Amino acid sequence: MAIKSILNLNPPSGFRDFNADTIHKRNFIINIIKNQFELCGFEPLETPALEYTDILTGKYGPEGDKLIFRVLDSGNPFEHLKPESWQDISTPESLLSLKNRLAEKSLRYDLTIPLARYVAHNINKLVLPFKRYQIQPVWRGDSPQKGRYREFMQCDADIIGSASLHHDAELVLLYANVFEILKIPVTIKINHRGFLEYFLNYCKTQSPNVEAHFNLTKFCNVIDKADKIGWQKVSQELVALGFDSSMVARLEAFMNLPQYHFLQNIIISIDTLKQFFGDETDSSHLEPTDNHSYHNIVNQSFYTDFSELHNYFNLSGLSAKKPFEYCKIVWDFGLARGLNYYSGIVMEVVVDNEVCKTKYDTQIKMGSIGGGGRYDNLTAMFGVPNLNGIGISFGLDRIYDVMDALKLFENIPTKHQSKVIFFNLGEVGFNKSFELVHVLRKLGYPCELFPTQQKLDKQFKYAESLEYHFACFIGENEISKNEMIIKNLRTREQQIISLETQANFVEAFKHFINKN
């Protein structure tokens, strides 16, 4: 008889249950990431699921604000509201404002803002630079689809209170090490937002029709689409926004500079970059009128960042031939990224489908599986100015999906390798088995007893489905001879073990386990 509930037994859309098998695989990934974090000197931090709504809003852009899960105040959330304030929900802004007032607390949207809040709160106790890693779920009210969930795990490592560029290089290498171990072919893209900001400011001086409030974030959003819709449409859009068409052409030439591939022949070097910006000397009409000197790029801070980072990569041996099998590290002048708070170096990790094709004969359609960047002065919004920060994030759920698609979990031992089950052959043997189970558990072997005396094929099937490696038999025959049978469930090899003394039993048991 089918028992049908009128309730929907699915978890809410975009939320998931995880079974044992999935959790073992997720832990496998998490342990590798955590290990790399600790090798680099990061210490763990956990923050609560809920933050005050005011802490979160306004940090992720207007789109982000809409996606924050708000938690309705307990008690009567309407109590403190004047009636007129909740009657006006005619505009999206007033509706959002009302929601914020009904929900004092919200689920965290990422791990970076809670970190900034934590640092600002504890600034007097912390030793700087503060290096912490954090592996916890975050929640976004996005519409779920492939590779996008409403509850997902982020694995972040951040350094607060140090402007040294070596961290930026270190984090890129950390990315590379993790994906190298996981055997996921990736491209780690790097850029400096300064280049884009510089271009934007310069374009604006040359294009009086561009609206003053057209900022870097909006600029990034427009040019970020170049990959998908092509440069022709992007340049049309920019011209429509008031940009001078010669500047747009110039920007296109810049963005289309070949990607700087750190692992192969150097296609574009610092010199060619200098050349790119320097060769405008003939075009007097481009001569800027303000201190955003077009030719003065080598004096810009982002330019020194760029060359310094370049040095660290050389020191780390990245320019050597083939330091990584699965990772490419490239400089991509077109990389923009969406979040508001990034100010310097930005990074993004995407699956490298060319290598997937050659190594795994398959291709993966998936958004970025990691991202990060430098966000100078992030804690200023919480009243603690002049702190530099940089961080990266691994998207665990997407990494999992990619590994699953590439069949990378096969041949990976995610479970204990010597699980033991005692079959049930009747009460006398059961009692002896119960005794031995506790001996083995003390020695660190996971064991279980089959609870009822069922047909052996049932017991075998149970053991098989739960991936037990060894089965022990103690029935009346064995009890009478004071012995037990142990069987390797994979090879089907079996052996008789004497139960005369516990020491002998343990010795023989270990011997059998170890040789299998």
- CA 143 to chain CA centroid, Å, is 19
Of 140 and 292, nearer to RNA (C-beta) is 140
Q: Which of residues 63, 88, 93, 507 is near RNA by CB under 7 A?
A: 63
Closest CA to 202 of 104, 99, 331, 288: 288
Of 73 and 467, nearer to RNA (C-beta) is 467
Task: Examine residue 460 and tell whether it contacts RNA (CB under 7 A).
Answer: yes
Task: Examine residue 93 and tell whether it contacts RNA (CB under 7 A).
Answer: no
Q: Of 429-458, which residues contact RNA (CB under 7 A)?
A: 429, 455-457
Of 229 and 315, nearer to RNA (C-beta) is 229
Whether the Cβ atoms of residue 147 and residue 398 lie closer than 8 Å to each other: yes
What tokens does 122 get?
Answer: 């504890």
Q: Which of residues 224, 237, 448, 483 is near RNA by CB under 7 A?
A: 224
Task: Examine residue 21 and tell whether it contacts RNA (CB under 7 A).
Answer: no
Task: Examine residue 221 and tell whether it contacts RNA (CB under 7 A).
Answer: yes
Q: Which of residues 58, 78, 146, 267 is near RNA by CB under 7 A?
A: 146
Task: Examine residue 489 and tell whether it contacts RNA (CB under 7 A).
Answer: yes
Q: Of 173-212, which residues contact RNA (CB under 7 A)?
A: none
CB atoms within 10 A of CB 136: 16
Of 418 and 494, nearer to RNA (C-beta) is 494
Give min distance, CB of 276 to RNA, in A.
Answer: 26
Burial of 469 (0-12, 13-18, 19+ CB in 10 A): buried
Task: Examine residue 230 and tell whether it contacts RNA (CB under 7 A).
Answer: no
Q: Which of residues 107, 349, 351, 402 is near RNA by CB under 7 A?
A: 349
Those residues whose C-beta lies under 8 Å from the C-beta of residue 168, and which sit 6 or more positions away, are 305, 309, 312, 344, 345, 374, 390
Q: Which of residues 476, 500, 504, 507 is near RNA by CB under 7 A?
A: 476
* Alpha carbon distance 452, 236 (integer Å): 74
What tokens does 511 get?
Answer: 């011997």
Of 169 and 489, nearer to RNA (C-beta) is 489
What tokens does 438 get?
Answer: 């506790």
Q: Dihedral angle at the C-alpha atoms of 300, 306, 312, 316, nearest 10 degrees?
A: -170
Q: Which of residues 28, 306, 473, 509 is near RNA by CB under 7 A?
A: 473
Q: Of 232-291, which residues contact RNA (CB under 7 A)?
A: none
Task: Examine residue 82 and tell whether it contacts RNA (CB under 7 A).
Answer: no
* Alpha carbon distance 29, 429 (integer Å): 41
Number of continuous H segments (helices) and E segments (strands) in the chain: 20, 17
Of 110 and 168, nearer to RNA (C-beta) is 110
CB atoms within 10 A of CB 462: 15
Q: Of 360-379, which residues contact RNA (CB under 7 A)?
A: 365, 367-371
What tokens does 249 get?
Answer: 């052409």
Give min distance, CB of 298 to RNA, in A.
Answer: 30
- Total interface residues for RNA by CB under 7 A: 64
Give min distance, CB of 180 to RNA, in A.
Answer: 18
- CA 335 to chain CA centroid, Å, is 18
What tokens does 7 get?
Answer: 């309730």
Q: Is the peptide bond before 129 cis (omega within 30 degrees of 0)?
A: yes
Whether the Cβ atoms of residue 268 and residue 258 lie closer than 8 Å to each other: yes
Task: Examine residue 8 and tell whether it contacts RNA (CB under 7 A).
Answer: yes
* Alpha carbon distance 334, 169 (integer Å): 19
Of 27 and 275, nearer to RNA (C-beta) is 27
CB atoms within 10 A of CB 460: 17
Q: How far is CA 162 from CA 34, 340, 345, in A?
A: 22, 20, 14
Q: Which stretch binds RNA (CB under 7 A): 119-127, 171-179, 223-231, 353-361?
A: 223-231
What tokens does 89 get?
Answer: 């929900």
Task: Examine residue 478 and tell whether it contacts RNA (CB under 7 A).
Answer: yes
Give min distance, CB of 278 to RNA, in A.
Answer: 32
Q: Dihedral angle at the C-alpha atoms of 247, 252, 253, 256, nearest 10 degrees?
A: 160
Q: Which stretch binds RNA (CB under 7 A): 124-132, 254-262, 486-494, 508-516?
A: 486-494
Give min distance, CB of 173 to RNA, in A.
Answer: 18
Which residues of this chain interact with RNA, rule CB under 7 A? 1-2, 4, 8, 10, 12-14, 61, 63-64, 110, 140, 142-150, 152, 154, 221, 224-225, 228-229, 337-339, 349, 365, 367-371, 393, 395, 397-398, 425-426, 429, 455-457, 460-461, 463-464, 473-478, 485, 487, 489, 492, 494
